[in-house]
């Protein structure tokens, strides 16, 4: 298997970011390098102390990352998902996640269940080859972790907490071995997908007390994965070609700029775009992302919703999703303040404008402080010029964009699929269109 020993893409600056951005990214790492807290925090502390020695200051960690001795060649020889020494130690400390316990015993595991944990303060010169997993084992481990996302016996936040930490460990092993090849790119793409899907599914856990911190840490790791992925693309790219998924994954960075004063990679978007290859800039995925960002900043709610519904891939949609209700609230505000007071606005028309079901529109109006009324024939209306309008104060449920008269004449519905539990119609270009009634 071809392994090219090159500069570590995770430790270097982004393929499309300036060197000045490294300090801002490092500042974010100080707040995001630890995984979400679990009940095993005490055992984790014991493990870190025994494996990594005396805790180091962030400045020392940065020196280790820049130390040339850390870039020496290291080829892992561990044949298991978790090194035998770590597995035995964690059995003694009863430091096993629920997915690693053999027959539910918190003090017993097996090579087929235990997965190496992420260790924050670590350097290549401190590692033995027997504690590092080679690329084939890392691929097998990642596939095992991603299959856990389909588990239904545990809440998603429990599954996410486990996969979140173990995928960081996979990236750490890849980084220490300086593996830069197509297999690594595929693995990073899968890990980016995991964080984007988690970004979507964690929204349903918004009532949990630690939701904000978990959501923040997930977004931080998504940005770090994208930085490393862009560097891998650059390291392996030929002069006149790009990777198949590269345009879509580059579009994620543009979509992460939705919202004001948001710079995911620590630099302005225009500077980043100036270093993107022209083949990617001209791709339909990148053109869509840039057009959508422009519509969002212009406040063009109608074209924003329609463009999202007809062109977004499901991964793009999951990034856009938190902003859809914000755009809907803007549309509702315009209707309320610009409408004629003596002519209430029909909820049926508003449903088409916001691309929501009528019942959901009524709930959304109430969440924005607006009252609806019922006409003599039972039709629902929104009285305009109300003064109590406000943006929803709480996380309002996000409904898939509803497109009218799409696939209605096709009873076979060949484009119906299920995306993580939600039945959706898919446009031939793979866009999320509407939630099935």
Q: pLDDT (tens digit, 9 = 90+) per residue, 5-53?
A: 444 444 443 444 444 444 443 334 433 434 444 444 444 444 444 444 3
| Residues 228 and 356 both lie in one domain | no
- Mean pLDDT on 274-287: 95
- What is the pLDDT at residue 207? 65
- What is the pLDDT at residue 196? 97
The whole-model pTM stands at 0.76
- What is the pLDDT at residue 127? 81
Q: Is the model's pLDDT at 68 over the cut of 90?
A: no
| Residues 348 and 224 both lie in one domain | no
Least reliable range by pLDDT among 43-52, 98-107, 122-131, 410-419: 410-419
- What is the pLDDT at residue 151? 84
Q: Within a domain: residue 341?
A: yes
| Token duo for residue 234 | 């650059």
| Residues 97 and 217 both lie in one domain | yes
- Mean pLDDT on 119-139: 86
- What is the pLDDT at residue 436? 32
d(CA 180, CA 10): 10
Q: Within a domain: residue 83?
A: yes
Q: pLDDT (tens digit, 9 = 90+) per residue, 168-213?
A: 999 999 999 999 999 999 999 999 999 999 999 988 776 666 778 8
Q: Within a domain: residue 197?
A: yes
| Residues 87 and 223 both lie in one domain | yes
| Residues 80 and 221 both lie in one domain | yes
Closest CA to 398 of 204, 149, 198, 194: 204
- What is the pLDDT at residue 259? 74
- Half-sphere exposure of residue 11: CA atoms within 13 angstroms, side-chain side: 24
| Residues 333 and 228 both lie in one domain | no
- What is the pLDDT at residue 268? 85
d(CA 384, CA 386): 5
Q: Is the model's pLDDT at 325 over the cut of 80?
A: yes
- Mean pLDDT on 298-309: 94
Residue of higher predicted confidence among 148 and 430: 148
- What is the pLDDT at residue 375? 83
d(CA 134, CA 145): 17
d(CA 391, CA 283): 35
Q: Within a domain: residue 299?
A: no
Number of domains in the chain: 2
- Output the average pLDDT for the chain: 78
Contact call for residues 334 and 301 (beta carbons, < 8 A): yes
- What is the pLDDT at residue 243? 94
- Half-sphere exposure of residue 311: CA atoms within 13 angstroms, side-chain side: 18
- What is the pLDDT at residue 410? 36
- What is the pLDDT at residue 395? 63
CA angle at 386 for the pair 383 and 390, rounded to the nearest 5°: 120
| Token duo for residue 277 | 């290859």
Tell me which residue range forms the domain holding 350: 327-408
Q: Is the model's pLDDT at 142 over the cut of 50?
A: yes
| Residues 229 and 333 both lie in one domain | no
Q: Is the model's pLDDT at 61 over the cut of 90?
A: no
Q: Is the model's pLDDT at 304 over the cut of 70?
A: yes
| Residues 217 and 83 both lie in one domain | yes
| Residues 228 and 339 both lie in one domain | no
Q: What Cα–Cα distance (Å) separates residue 28 from each residue in 22, 174, 222, 263, 276?
A: 10, 22, 13, 12, 24
| Residues 102 and 228 both lie in one domain | yes
- What is the pLDDT at residue 205? 74
Q: Is the model's pLDDT at 70 over the cut of 70?
A: no
- What is the pLDDT at residue 39? 43
| Residues 80 and 225 both lie in one domain | yes
Q: Within a domain: residue 320?
A: no
Identify the three-state secondary structure at position 289: helix
Question: Above pLDDT 70, what percent of the chain?
Answer: 70
- Mean pLDDT on 139-156: 94
Q: Within a domain: residue 155?
A: yes
- What is the pLDDT at residue 396? 65
- What is the pLDDT at residue 132? 95
| Residues 349 and 230 both lie in one domain | no
Q: Within a domain: residue 32?
A: no
DSSP-derived secondary structure for 323-357? HHHHHHHHHHHHHHHHS-TTSPEEHHHHHHHHTS-
| Token duo for residue 375 | 């006409």
Contact call for residues 302 and 54 (beta carbons, < 8 A): no
- Mean pLDDT on 61-88: 72
- What is the pLDDT at residue 402? 67
Q: pLDDT (tens digit, 9 = 90+) per residue, 216-269?
A: 999 999 999 999 999 999 999 887 889 999 999 999 999 999 976 666 666 788
Q: Within a domain: residue 157?
A: yes
């Amino acid at each position: 298997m071809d392994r090219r020993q090159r500069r570590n893409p995770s430790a270097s600056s982004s393929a499309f970011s300036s060197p000045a951005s490294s300090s801002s990214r490092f500042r974010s790492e100080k707040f995001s390098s630890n995984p979400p807290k679990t009940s095993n925090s005490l055992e984790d502390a014991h493990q870190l102390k025994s494996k990594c020695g005396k805790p180091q200051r962030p400045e020392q960690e940065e020196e280790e990352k820049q130390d040339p001795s850390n870039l020496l060649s290291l080829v892992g020889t561990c044949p298991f998902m978790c090194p035998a020494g770590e597995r035995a130690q964690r059995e003694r400390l009863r430091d096993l996640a629920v997915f690693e316990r053999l027959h539910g015993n918190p003090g017993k595991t097996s090579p087929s269940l235990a997965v190496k944990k992420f260790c924050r303060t670590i350097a290549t010169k401190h590692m033995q080859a027997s504690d590092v997993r080679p690329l084939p084992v890392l691929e097998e481990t990642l596939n095992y972790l991603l299959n856990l996302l389909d588990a239904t016996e545990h809440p998603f936040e429990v599954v996410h907490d486990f996969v979140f930490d173990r995928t960081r460990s996979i990236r750490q092993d890849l980084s220490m071995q300086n593996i830069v090849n197509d297999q690594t790119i595929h693995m990073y793409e899968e890990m980016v997908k995991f964080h984007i899907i988690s970004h979507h599914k964690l929204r349903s856990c918004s009532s949990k007390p630690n939701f904000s911190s978990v959501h923040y840490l997930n977004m931080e790791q998504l940005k770090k994965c994208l930085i490393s992925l862009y560097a891998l693309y650059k390291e392996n790219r030929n002069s006149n070609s790009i990777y198949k998924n590269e345009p879509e994954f580059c579009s994620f960075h543009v979509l992460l700029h939705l919202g004001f004063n948001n710079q995911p990679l620590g630099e302005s978007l225009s500077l980043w775009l100036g270093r993107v290859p022209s083949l990617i800039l001209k791709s339909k995925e990148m053109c869509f992302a840039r057009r959508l960002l422009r519509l969002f900043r212009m406040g063009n709610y109608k074209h924003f919703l329609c463009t999202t519904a007809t062109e977004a891939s499901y991964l793009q949609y999951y990034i856009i999703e938190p902003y859809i209700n914000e755009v809907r609230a803007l549309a509702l505000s315009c209707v309320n303040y610009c409408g004629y007071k003596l002519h209430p606005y029909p909820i049926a028309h508003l449903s088409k404008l916001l691309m929501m079901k009528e019942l959901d529109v009524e709930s959304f109006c109430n969440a924005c402080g607006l009252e609806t009324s019922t006409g003599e024939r039972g039709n629902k209306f929104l009285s305009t010029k109300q003064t109590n309008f406000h943006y929803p104060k709480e996380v309002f449920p996000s409904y898939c964009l509803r497109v009218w008269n799409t696939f209605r004449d096709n009873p076979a519905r060949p484009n119906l699929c299920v995306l993580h539990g939600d039945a959706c119609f898919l446009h031939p270009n793979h866009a999320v269109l509407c939630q099935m009634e």
